[in-house]
Structure 1
């Protein structure tokens, strides 16, 4: 990449970090959690905020639903989703809540997830089951399952009472790529609805949502697609579109799907309207070059940090910009300990990383983005072993 113009500034790999407003005193190696909004997108959203505050009545009452629909079509096209069968929502867990609230669960019904599932999704499922008498079945899987192991384990957990299977496309804590299209195909004959949690997919890896064939697919654009936080696309199969109930009934209730899902009165819609600016920035930087840079750098980071810790790090999935490194035994063995360790690494060492427990073992998750350099991971590899040894 050389001489790309963003907001009037010529950007190259040497100065690309100026596209972000991240604290330079911190090494940000955890893009996968909340993303980072480029300055150009921040400015686009600020212009929308200015427009909104200059005349709130006009902003909300004249053409806003059409602007949202136009944005939805733009984002759906990028993801290979049906724009008429998609809705904009705040994040992936909102999409999960919409589905769980539309199933009419009863006592004895079952929802199937895997051990690699996201914690907030697990909590949402457990809350729905407690409320309705349904049963949550969690499929055990090893840290690095093969595609066949994933498909076999998930399909083997399905019974005649299964009302929904939730499967991650890219797992959050363990950074694995799951064969979601194969799971959907395997369950199609039994008419078992499948929801794909694709929180980490948009912008991260190529995707054609329609080809996956899931009943529900939801992915965040504020992680890897440079959108402002609070932007996700929720794609729904035709048979379910009029059955999905909004979390809040609004003036667009009679408009049907997707407007009844998207409209919530005074919700701040500027993150959605600014999201195309994130895709523009991503494409201006060269989407394929960004992905290659991030994938290669994440692999490098995993390699040097694992070597420094003497850890046997699992191979990463091709194309993923997140990698994990097992921590020494006894560290981050549960969620509270993992959260505490992440904070201490940030506060005492100046590195933002992900830390998660899995099967009683702490996992360090490293993400890579264009603002990162190999030297960031070299410095972490130099300082982390002694820090963890002192804790042990």
Structure 2
């Protein structure tokens, strides 16, 4: 089967970023990349803050945060009254876990596709409360219907207190049917926390329509916001129970103010987030999404062909708009977290390419992203040089 044709590049898009031109940055999903216009927006806000800190941190700041919150919530199809700005998805997950009030007989059920730091957060909360953490195996080849049935069979009514699922997994770049999973959990009285770290900007979403109890997503990845910008969306029945990780002067105001206000935090990144969405819309939101997904698919096939991986062995991402794809590495390569990290560093140092290398279920996987600043020759150059690097051991 031939490699799919690459998408046409978006003219001038590369010039919107300050990325090192000598490096192929194929790992947008890790830390994102902030457009020049957004960087300048944040710098103007920092200049304002430093010109008169007392005035900047005065009463008008809460109004400006509320305006930003409403803007981001509208983009995500979420209720602004149930949306709080947080530093990242892991922070939002920690807030939700802390607010659940887990008890000794409770169980938190997640999957083996979950993000490592989130699993650590679950483990810590379970140690603190005496609750139990359990993980389900979801095969990469499973259909959406099969995934729903695996989760349905894994729920323990009366014991499972929370189901934690990714909307788009980080390690395996798989889009999960979260709305259907939420419906199944609701049938059994189980709350659901959706980790949607990669969704805002990459995929169209109507958060309220998903119906989750908690939904957390980063804007600093595919939404072009400054790093440290994410949102926690909470269903109405939980809002008066939300407890921030750190108490502030806004504690009495309740959610979302009690979560957002963190004294002398640098809020300029949050306030700049709408500029990231403006950049997306200026480029053409659907145009960007279509381009990125097609480019990631092209890169996946080019690298897979170079490694001798047949198309039938490439996992289906679960949806046409996914702008991250994975390629299985040869058996025995990067099968542990330590080995995966070492290989990623070697690729960066020797091939001048930034990629993600994951160890999932004892197998090494290379994850590639597609973004408007990437070009087809970056994937082709990686494909031409990667086999020799892997052969060196």
The question of a shared fold, defined as TM-score above 0.5 by the shorter chain, is answered with: yes
1:390 corresponds in structure 2 to 392
Structure 2 distance, partners of 1:82, 1:346, is 41
**C-alpha RMSD of the superposition:** 1.0
1:228 corresponds in structure 2 to 226
Structure 1 distance, partners of 2:40, 2:83, is 27
Q: Is the 8 A contact 1:144 1:176 kept in 2?
A: no
Q: CA deviation at 1:146?
A: 1.2
- Equivalent positions of 1:165-244 (< 5 A) are 165-244=163-242
Structure 1 distance, partners of 2:34, 2:258, is 28
Q: Is the 8 A contact 1:204 1:224 kept in 2?
A: yes
- CA offsets 1:339-370 (integer angstroms, 9 cap, x no match): 11111100111000011011111000000100
1:158 paired with 2:155, answer yes
Q: Is the 8 A contact 1:331 1:362 kept in 2?
A: yes
Q: CA deviation at 1:314?
A: 2.0
Q: CA deviation at 1:145?
A: 2.1
1:64 paired with 2:79, answer no
Pair 1:315–1:158, CA change in 2 (3 A): closer
SS of 2:99's equivalent in the other structure is coil
1:322 corresponds in structure 2 to 324
Structure 1 distance, partners of 2:355, 2:33, is 14
Q: CA deviation at 1:85?
A: 0.8
1:48 corresponds in structure 2 to 45
Q: Is the 8 A contact 2:217 2:232 kept in 1?
A: yes
- Equivalent positions of 1:267-306 (< 5 A) are 267-306=265-304
Structure 1 distance, partners of 2:195, 2:146, is 19
Structure 1 distance, partners of 2:266, 2:190, is 35
- Equivalent positions of 1:16-55 (< 5 A) are 16-55=13-52
1:343 aligned residue (342, 345, 351) = 345
Normalised by the size of structure 2, how large is the TM-score? Answer: 0.95
Structure 2 distance, partners of 1:156, 1:244, is 30
1:108 aligned residue (100, 105, 129) = 105
1:126 paired with 2:123, answer yes
Structure 1: runs of 5+ lacking an equivalent: 1-11
- CA offsets 1:40-64 (integer angstroms, 9 cap, x no match): 0000000000000000011001300
Structure 2: runs of 5+ lacking an equivalent: 1-8
Structure 2 distance, partners of 1:13, 1:321, is 15
Mean alpha-carbon deviation: is it higher for 30-39 or for 128-137?
128-137
Structure 2 distance, partners of 1:153, 1:244, is 30
1:92 corresponds in structure 2 to 89
Matched residue count:
380
Normalised by the size of structure 1, how large is the TM-score? Answer: 0.95
Q: CA deviation at 1:116?
A: 0.4
